[in-house]
Amino acid sequence: MNKVLILSSVWVEPNSSAAGSRMLQLIHFFITQKYEITYASTAGVSDFSLDLETLGITYTSIKINDTNFDLFLQKTNPSIVLFDRFIIEEQFGWRVSEICPNAIKILDTEDLHCLRKAREIAYKNKTAYKEKDILKLDSTKREIASILRCDLSLIISKYEMELLKNQFKIEESILLYLPFMLDAILEKEQNNSINFTNRKHFYFIGNFRHKPNIESVLYLKKTIWKEIAKKLPNAELHIFGAYPTQQILQLHNTKERFLVKGRLKDISELKKYRILLAPILFGAGLKGKFIEAMQNFTPSITTKTGQEGIGNTKNWSGKISASEKEIIANAIELYTNRVAWETAQKNGIEILNTNFNKDFFQKKLHEKINYLTIYLEKHRDTNFIGQLLQHHTLQSTKYLSKWIEEKNAK
């Protein structure tokens, strides 16, 4: 039986973040392909972690700089190793190459961390982000090196796919564009959705361990919501999200109709809201909040960064805004204009069914893995830079890790 080992820095929490949903989609893919799955994480299990055992998945905790991981690898003997972040590949990739040299190494980038970081720095410095900014970061060099060391990297956004090919000149043969893989929305589901008149209020949702979500909510509180609230005296803004910080909880204000609700227990609750209000100021990858909104037939107000990689600006499921004034004006217009709202709702369904077809992308992933299974040696021969990086990583990271092991043993 084919075996896949998933190495992760977190446990799967599909109800907490888009990253958790993404990992669950990949797990379901391997289940459909009849793989024996082992999930290993450096983190502790939380109260919100998915019960992997119910899916027939073996799971365990692992430590970095620990020779016991080598024994675990030998015992597991996977045919595929999936790293959920480049940092995990840095920590464990060299051990996989040494112990299981014939295992296919796949990196799920989730989003380009270096792109998110470069945009965050530009935002904090109050400057416009430029693509050359990303080249200045040490984390960029680390992340690109990780991509080059792996046999395949899963890229979630078309924008990031083009960035890797054009800016970093990475061969497409080691990349695979793989966005969210979603079931199609049927017409009867749309017809049974709650209509415009029976919905009310705005909402925001996001994991508050993610800086872009924190900054977006602060921006809503300090700048955006007060103006919207003046024009819409009966509307409220509800803030949902896992792991809210004290900074976020303190923003709750009943008089201002700015209500911090905490973790959302039932995603179907979003069907009651009229609009997702999420002006994303910086970030990367695909923002799961907009996918969730479309699945619940809820239009949204966001920025070009929020829309990136999901759909085009002309037929967005709502309004794309380039300034504070536009966000406010568009939010008021969409909230009060039934025709515009229903058009946005239909656009969302079209985006999901066209751009995130599960059957199509699962087939692409299946075909790529089959190719790598047969032609892995040939595939690696064409990636000399990856071989070079792998050689030096084995030398430097290996001996640093061995030194730490010895130090910890004393």
Could you tell me the mean pLDDT of each successive run of 10 residues in the chain, 410 residues long?
91 78 93 96 82 90 88 96 94 92 95 93 90 90 93 95 94 95 81 84 94 96 96 97 94 96 89 96 93 94 95 88 96 97 94 94 97 94 76 58 53
Q: Per DSSP, which regions of 187-305 are E strands?
A: 202-205, 237-240, 258-262, 275-277, 300-302
% helix, strand, coil for the chain, step of 5 = 55, 15, 35
Q: What are the DSSP E strand ranges found in 70-225?
A: 80-83, 104-108, 152-155, 175-177, 202-205
pLDDT for res 391: 59
Q: Report the SS3 class of residue 234.
A: coil
Domain identity same for 310 and 253: yes
Task: Give CA–CA dist 262/245, Å, rounded.
Answer: 10
Round to whole Å and give the CA distance between 53 and 95.
26
Residues 323, 303: Cα–Cα separation, whole Å: 8
Q: Are residues 361 and 293 part of one domain? A: no
Q: Which two tokens stand for residue 301?
A: 């107000």
Are 209 and 277 within one domain? yes
Of 316, 340, 355, the last residue of a domain is 355
Q: Global pTM?
A: 0.90
Task: Please check whether residues 111 and 150 belong to one and the same domain.
Answer: yes
Here the tokens at position 140 are 């960029």
Domain span holding position 296: 187-355
Evaluated on CA atoms 327, 129, 137, 153, the torsion sign reads positive
Q: Which token pair is 129?
A: 């982000």
269 and 144 share one domain: no
Residue 299: partners with Cβ closer than 8 Å, 6 or more residues away: 274, 275, 276, 293, 317, 318, 319, 334, 341, 344, 345, 348
pLDDT at 128: 87
Chain position carrying tokens 């595929």? 80
d(CA 303, CA 299): 13
Report d(CA 70, CA 72) in Å as an integer. Answer: 5
- Kindly state whether residues 169 and 197 are assigned to the same domain: no
Are 351 and 362 part of one and the same domain?
no
What one-letter code names the amino acid at 7? L
What are the distances in angstroms from CA 392 to CA 90, 94, 97, 389, 395? 12, 10, 12, 5, 5
User: What does the alpha-carbon distance between residue 379 and residue 74 come to, in Å, rounded to a whole number?
Assistant: 24
Q: In angstroms, rounded to a whole number, what is the distance separating the alpha carbons of residues 378 and 373?
A: 11
Residue 148 sits in the same domain as residue 204:
no
Rg (CA), the chain: 22
Asked if residue 291 and residue 200 are part of one domain, the reply reads yes
Q: Are residues 197 and 173 in the same domain?
A: no
Number of domains in the chain: 2
Q: What type of residue sits at position 18?
A: A
- CATH number of the domain at 193, please: 3.40.50.2000
Residues 73 and 95 in one domain: yes
Same domain, 136 and 279: no
